[in-house]
């Protein structure tokens, strides 16, 4: 198979260039691909200076996906901060193949990661990629969306996702560009979701159905989970973490209550977390997150009761969990700050 590419260079800094894959022009022959290249790189206008699009053999995917159940493929992102080495590949990604098409769940943290997800799907099937489901707004889960949208996917998320992304787009792009580096980040943009869900939605893939469920404020204000009727797998996004310390950007009591309700009331064969795993027993796999959040809340309440200021409290909160998680030193102080600020006003 042949795919379209374009060489994209950073504006004003021609030393930084990247060969960008342009999904949507795949063909069995080079001529078939070339027949359809007019305007292929228009979506990249403003992100750099692009040469003429051209066609070449489809490369092998650079991301490893494991088929964890028939038709369900999961990639485990690096347990790390985004950086030049991982290119923003720091969150889990999945795709589900049904009779009528493929649904991708989350998109990674850069356009380059999204291109690799596309190639990983194409290594398995030429079936249409009908939907990209975004589990929440965080940049490590959404910044790879553009190439999947170009491949034809409708982007679906929580009803609150569009506004949340619009408000944070520049911050997210700056932060990840600085972390990953100009070259690896070339072509990356925030893509607005096509559809926001206030109620659950069933995506019928012919021989299986995916249920998308928007959730109340928890990890963020716009969390959404996916369950697959065939495998029974629950894709929890960042409502469940493994290895990587949980990160709080929504509501601490909200997240705790939601996890408890889901653990008690919702059955699943297993859970795919947003980081780590990539497949955990359900509901046992969510217990470490629930425990961490419980410690975060009780330590914060104790600090507030003792009259500690935020700067006194933050270094104390959650310390008994330090040995249980990777990246604890990076995120626990932010979680403690968030928890203190939220609970202070109750």
User: What is the H or E stretch that residue 5 is in?
Assistant: strand 2-10
Rule CB under 5 A: say whether 223 interacts with Zn ion: no
For the segment 52-111, give every residue that binds Zn ion (CB under 5 A): none
Stretch that binds Zn ion, among 28-36, 63-71, 230-238, 307-315 (CB under 5 A): 230-238
Residue 29 C-alpha from the chain's centroid: 33
Segment contacting Zn ion by CB under 5 A, of 25-33, 108-116, 237-245, 252-260: 237-245
Per CB under 5 A, the segment of 117-125, 130-138, 165-173, 336-344 that binds Zn ion is: 130-138
CA-CA distance, 204 to 156, in Å (whole number)?
Answer: 14
Region for residue 159 given its phi and psi (left: phi exceeds 0; alpha: psi -120 to 50; beta: otherwise):
alpha
DSSP string, 113-177: HHHHHHHHHHTT--S-EEEEE--SS-HHHHTTHHHHHHTTPEEEEETTHHHHHHHHHHHHHHHHH
- Comparing CB distances to Zn ion, the nearer of 104 and 224 is 224
Q: How many residues comprise the chain?
A: 346
Q: Which stretch binds Zn ion (CB under 5 A): 121-129, 156-164, 184-192, 233-241?
A: 233-241
Distance CA 260, CA 270 (A): 16
The window from 154-162, 175-183, 234-242, 322-330 that contacts Zn ion (CB under 5 A) reads: 234-242
Which residue matches tokens 């080495």? 85
Nearest to 162 by CA among 186, 195, 189, 129: 195
Both structure tokens of 166: 């619009």
Closer residue to Zn ion in complex, CB, 25/141: 141
User: Is there binding between residue 238 and Zn ion (CB under 5 A)?
Assistant: yes
Per-residue DSSP letters for 214-235?
E--SSSSSS-EEEEETTT-EEE
Cβ closest to Zn ion, residue 18 vs residue 244: 244
Number of shown-chain residues binding Zn ion (CB under 5 A): 2
For the CB of residue 201, give the shortest distance to Zn ion in the complex, in Å. 21
- Contacting Zn ion (CB under 5 A), which of 18, 138, 208, 244? 138
Q: Least CB distance from residue 126 to Zn ion, whole Å?
A: 32
Q: Which is nearer to Zn ion, 150 or 238 (CB)?
A: 238
Give 326's DSSP letter: B
Pick 28 or 174: Cβ nearer Zn ion: 174
* Residue 177 binds Zn ion (CB under 5 A): no
Q: Which is nearer to Zn ion, 5 or 241 (CB)?
A: 241
Taking CB under 5 A as the binding criterion, the range among 36-44, 56-64, 135-143, 154-162 that sits at the site for Zn ion is: 135-143
For Zn ion, give the closer residue by CB, 131 or 138.
138
How far is Cα 311 from Cα 322, in angstroms, rounded to an integer? 19
- Which phi and psi (to 5°) does residue 135 adopt? -75, -20
Q: Least CB distance from residue 241 to Zn ion, whole Å?
A: 9
Q: Which is nearer to Zn ion, 43 or 77 (CB)?
A: 77
As beta bridge partners, residue 224 has 214
Q: How far is the CB of 139 from Zn ion (least distance, A)?
A: 9
Binding site for Zn ion (CB under 5 A): 138, 238
């Amino acid at each position: 198979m042949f795919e379209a590419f374009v060489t994209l260079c950073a504006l004003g800094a021609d030393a930084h260039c990247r060969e960008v894959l342009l999904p949507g022009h795949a063909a069995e022959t080079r001529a078939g691909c070339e027949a359809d290249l007019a305007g292929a790189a228009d979506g990249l206008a403003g992100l750099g200076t692009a040469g003429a699009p051209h066609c070449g053999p489809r490369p092998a995917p650079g991301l490893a996906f494991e088929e964890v159940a028939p038709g369900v493929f999961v990639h485990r992102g690096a347990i790390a901060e985004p950086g030049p080495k991982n290119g923003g590949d720091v969150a889990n990604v999945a795709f589900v193949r049904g009779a009528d098409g493929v649904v991708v769940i989350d998109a990674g943290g850069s356009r380059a990661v999204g291109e690799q997800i596309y190639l990983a799907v194409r290594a398995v099937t030429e079936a249409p990629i009908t939907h990209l489901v975004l589990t929440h707004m965080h940049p490590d889960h959404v910044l790879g969306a553009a190439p999947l949208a170009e491949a034809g996917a409708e982007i679906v998320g929580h009803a609150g996702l569009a506004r949340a992304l619009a408000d944070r787009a520049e911050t997210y792009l700056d932060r990840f560009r600085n972390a990953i580096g100009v070259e690896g980040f070339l072509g990356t943009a925030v893509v607005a979701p096509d559809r926001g869900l206030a109620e659950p939605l069933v995506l019928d893939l012919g021989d299986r159905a995916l249920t998308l469920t928007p959730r109340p404020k928890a990890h963020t204000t716009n969390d959404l989970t996916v369950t697959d009727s065939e495998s029974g797998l629950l894709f929890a996004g960042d409502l469940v973490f493994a290895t990587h310390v949980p990160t709080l950007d929504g509501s601490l009591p909200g997240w705790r209550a939601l996890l408890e309700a889901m653990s008690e009331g919702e059955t699943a064969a297993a859970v795919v977390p947003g980081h780590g795993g990539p497949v955990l027993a359900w509901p046992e796999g969510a217990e470490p997150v629930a425990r961490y959040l419980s410690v975060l809340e009780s330590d914060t309440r104790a600090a507030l009761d003792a009259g500690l200021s935020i700067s006194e409290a933050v270094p104390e909160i959650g310390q008994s969990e330090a040995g249980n998680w990777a990246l604890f030193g990076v995120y626990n102080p932010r979680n403690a700050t968030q928890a203190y600020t939220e609970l202070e006003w109750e």
